[in-house]
Amino acid sequence: MTFSSRSVQAAGQPVSELMAEALAHPELISLAAGFVDQETLPVEITARAQQAAFANQDAARASLQYSNPQGLNELRDALLRQSCQWDDSGIPDQVSNENVVTTPGSNQLLYMLANILLDPGDIIICGSPTYFIFIGIVKNVGGETYGVAIDQHGMIPESLDDALSMLKKRGDLARVKAIYLVPYFDNPAGSTLTKERAGEIHEIANRYSEHNKIYVVTDEAYRLLDFNQTAQPSLWAGDRNLNHTIVVGTFSKSYSPGIRVGWGILPPELITPINDVKGNIDFGSPNINQYIMYEVLRNGWLQEHVSKLCDHYQQKQNAMLDALDEHMSTIDHCSWWNPGGGMYVWLTLPEIIDSAFDKPLYQATKQAGAMYVPGHYCFPKQGEPVQHNTIRLSFGQQTPAKIAEGVNCLATAVNSVLSIA
C-alpha cells in the first residue's frame, strides 16, 4: 500500500522507539521517561474541583457538552490573569482572552502552529539540543529544524545571530518562520534562559524579520517546577502586546498529564487560523477538563499543589545530583549542571562514547539494570553538530533510592566501556 508523504515524514520518530524500548524492558530502572510521579497526582484537589464544577445542574450539563473550539471563556480569562501574575504584571491593554486558546495539552498547539506557519522546506530555529517531540512535529509537516548552541543559561544569542546571518547569506532567511525555545528548565538540557538573553533574542528576531515576521515561540511547560523560585519573567514580558511572541503552556507537568489541558496566548493574526485548524481537528478541547482546571485556578488550588510538587521533585533532583557526584565525578570529560527545577539532567560523556541504543554503552547500561534517553535524538539535523556523547536523564518517575541505583548502573556501564575503548 502507498501512504502519503506526510506518513513517511512522520516515520522513525524517536518517541515510538523510546516507548517500545521502555515497554520491552519493564525490569529496568528507567531514567528515561519524562513521566510525572504517580504519587504526586492531585486526586483530592481534582475531586474537589469536579464537585465545584458540578455545583448545579446547569453547570454540570454545560461541562458535559461540546466546547467552544477556542476554549471555555472563564478558563481563558483565568489563564490570562494567571500568566500575567506569574510575570508580576497586569494584562496589557491590547491583549484579552480573545488572544487565548485552550488545547488538550501543549503538543496539539505546537502541531497547529507548525501547520499554519510552515510550508515544506520552511525552517524553525531551536536550541541544540531541544525537545525531540517538537523536532518530529516540524518534520511531520515537511518543515526543518535548525539548531543553535545553548548552555545552562539557555539559547546563546550570538549563536542565534550567526545562524540567521548564515541563512541570510545563503538566501534562506525568508524560509525562517520562528524561533522555538523551552526557556524554563528545558527538556532535555535543564537550562533556564536569562532575562538578558531573552531581550537579545527578541531584538535579533525583530532585526531579521525582513521578509516575514519571525515569531518567538516560548514553550513554558516546566515554568512552575521552579524549586528555588528564581526563574526569570516570561519571554512575553519583553513583548507585552504580542507583536511576535507566542506563549505555549500546559498543566501536564505542573498538575496532571491526564487532565489534558494546555493553552496558548497568541498574536492577534494567529487566532483565526488556529481556531480554523482546531475546529477541523476536534471541535474543541474536552469541556469537563476545562471546567475542572477553571475551578483549580479560581480557588488557588494550583499553587497549593505546585508547592508540594516542587519539594517532592527537588528531593529527587538532589538524589540524582548526589549520585552523579559520587559515581561520575571521577570520570574525565564527564559533565552536567544543576537545573534547579524541571525534571531533567543533561549529561555529557567523553567524546569517545556514543550513547545510542545500538552502541556498547546502552547495552552495558541495560545489563547493569537501567535505561536512559540517548542525547542524539534531541538534536536538529541542521546547524550545530549532533553530540552523540550525551544523555538525557529524568528524575521524575523513580524514587530517590532508585535514582541513585540507576545512576550507579550508568556509571558502571561508562567505566566498563571506557576500559575497553
> Per-residue pLDDT tens for 167-185?
999 999 999 999 999 999 9
Q: Quote the longest CA-to-CA distance of the chain.
A: 70
350 φ, ψ to 5°?
-55, 145
C-alpha cell at 158: 550570538
Domain boundaries for CATH 3.40.640.10 within the chain: 44-301
Q: Which region holds residue 60: left if phi is over 0, alpha if psi is between -120 and 50, else beta?
A: alpha
Mean per-residue pLDDT, 21-42: 90
The CATH classification number of 5-41+304-420 equals 3.90.1150.10
The pLDDT tens digits for 359-404 are 999 999 999 999 999 999 999 999 999 999 999 999 999 999 999 9
Neighbour-count burial for 12-30, b at 16+ CB within 10 Å, e otherwise: ebbeeebeebbeeeeebbb
Indicate the SS3 state at residue 404. Answer: helix
The pLDDT tens digits for 96-123 are 999 999 999 999 999 999 999 999 999 9
Domain boundaries for CATH 3.90.1150.10 within the chain: 5-41+304-420
CA angle, 154 then 156 then 159, to 5°: 145
Q: Report the distance separating Cα 396 and Cα 403, nearest Å.
A: 9
Q: Report the distance separating Cα 235 and Cα 161, nearest Å.
A: 18
Judge whether residue 11 has pLDDT over 80: no
Task: Give yes or no for a cis peptide into 129 (omega within 30° of 0).
Answer: yes
Judge whether residue 261 has pLDDT over 80: yes
Termini Cα distance of the chain: 45
Element (H, E) at 349: none
Contact between residue 65 and residue 287 where contact means Cβ atoms under 8 Å apart: yes
Task: Check residue 1 and give its pLDDT.
Answer: 65
Task: Check residue 213 and give its pLDDT.
Answer: 96
Neighbour-count burial for 61-80, b at 16+ CB within 10 Å, e otherwise: eebeeebbbbbbeebbbbbb
Nearest one of 279, 256, 413 to 350, comparing CA atoms = 413
Element (H, E) at 177: strand 176-181
Query: Any idea of the CA torsion for 400, 405, 410, 414, to the nearest 10 degrees?
Result: 130
The pLDDT tens digits for 145-163 are 999 999 999 999 999 999 9
Neighbour-count burial for 100-118, b at 16+ CB within 10 Å, e otherwise: bbbbbbbbbbbbbbbbebb
Element (H, E) at 245: strand 245-250
Judge whether residue 8 has pLDDT over 80: no
Judge whether residue 76 has pLDDT over 80: yes
Nearest one of 183, 171, 238 to 205, comparing CA atoms = 238
Mean per-residue pLDDT, 33-44: 94
Query: Any idea of the CA torsion for 403, 408, 409, 412, to the nearest 10 degrees?
Result: 160
Task: Check residue 230 and give its pLDDT.
Answer: 79
Q: pTM score, two decimals? A: 0.96
Of 2-11, 31-40, 208-217, 309-318, minimum mean pLDDT range: 2-11
Indicate the SS3 state at residue 376. Answer: helix
Task: Check residue 392 and give its pLDDT.
Answer: 98
Task: Check residue 293 and give its pLDDT.
Answer: 98
The CATH classification number of 44-301 equals 3.40.640.10
Indicate the SS3 state at residue 264. Answer: strand
